[in-house]
Amino acid sequence: MSRTYKTRSPDLQAEVRRRNLRRFLAMDLLLGRVDKNHPLFNWVTGYGLSELDLEWFRTNPQSPTCWGLDYYPNSEWQLDRVGEGIRQRRSETPVGLYASPRITTTTTALPMMVTETSADGHPINREIWLEETIGDCRRLREEGVPMLGYFWWPMIDQLDWAARSRTASGRFTRFGVF
């Protein structure tokens, strides 16, 4: 699952809705749910997906057994109106991992797992995030939400990650458990 969005600006509600619907687009395509009545039909066809392509997805639906949730400290975003433009920034009031799977399981009706999470910075930041997110998973499971697993990525700090491994900077990005 990608980023979630919210806003306080009434004129940005449609944009927030569209961005939040995009989170489920890959699954909607996989399940064969995208047709002319789908709320993102005009958006996907406007970006070049043909009706023939959509027909293929509708006639070849798949049956995934699990929904993967990528969730990071920067997964929740706020949209604000700034003049004629839109400013995107981290949410002031994130709902957290505990609320996200409830939204996803309601939409997809599939069991879930946290397929990717981590936090960068000092070891205490990572420790707090690890304890908090594992606690959220435990709490969800206790309440009956089908959480199947949890995966911290990466297990070790990453050399040259800040340069996306394109150049050798010799710099470590500190977001591994080790």
**CA separation for the pair 146, 143 (Å, rounded):** 9
Residue 79 bridge partners (DSSP)? 7, 88
The per-residue pLDDT for 102 is: 65
Query: In the structure, what pLDDT confidence band is assigned to residue 98 with cuts at 50, 70 and 90?
Result: confident
Q: Residue 105: is its pLDDT beyond 70?
A: no
Residue predicted with more confidence, 90 or 155: 90
The answer to whether position 29 is within a domain reads yes
- Tell me the CA distances in angstroms from 22 to 28, 56, 72, 92, one per residue in order: 9, 20, 18, 22
**CA separation for the pair 92, 6 (Å, rounded):** 10
Q: Torsion-angle region of residue 117: left (phi > 0), alpha (psi -120 to 50) or beta?
A: beta
**CA separation for the pair 152, 101 (Å, rounded):** 17
The answer to whether position 25 is within a domain reads yes
Query: In the structure, what pLDDT confidence band is assigned to residue 166 with cuts at 50, 70 and 90?
Result: low
Query: In the structure, what pLDDT confidence band is assigned to residue 141 with cuts at 50, 70 and 90?
Result: very high
The answer to whether position 21 is within a domain reads yes
Summarize the confidence of residues 62-82 as an average pLDDT: 91
3-state SS assignment for residue 136: helix
- How many domains is the chain built from? 1
The answer to whether position 178 is within a domain reads no
Q: Looking at residue 89, which CATH number applies to its domain?
A: 3.20.20.80
The answer to whether position 80 is within a domain reads yes
The answer to whether position 75 is within a domain reads yes
Summarize the confidence of residues 83-107 as an average pLDDT: 81
Residue predicted with more confidence, 38 or 109: 38
Output the pTM of the full model: 0.79
Query: In the structure, what pLDDT confidence band is assigned to residue 110 with cuts at 50, 70 and 90?
Result: confident
The per-residue pLDDT for 163 is: 58
Residue with tokens 């027909």: 55
The answer to whether position 33 is within a domain reads yes
- Nearest of 139, 145, 136 to residue 110 by alpha carbon: 145
Range of the structural domain that residue 60 is part of: 4-173
The answer to whether position 151 is within a domain reads yes
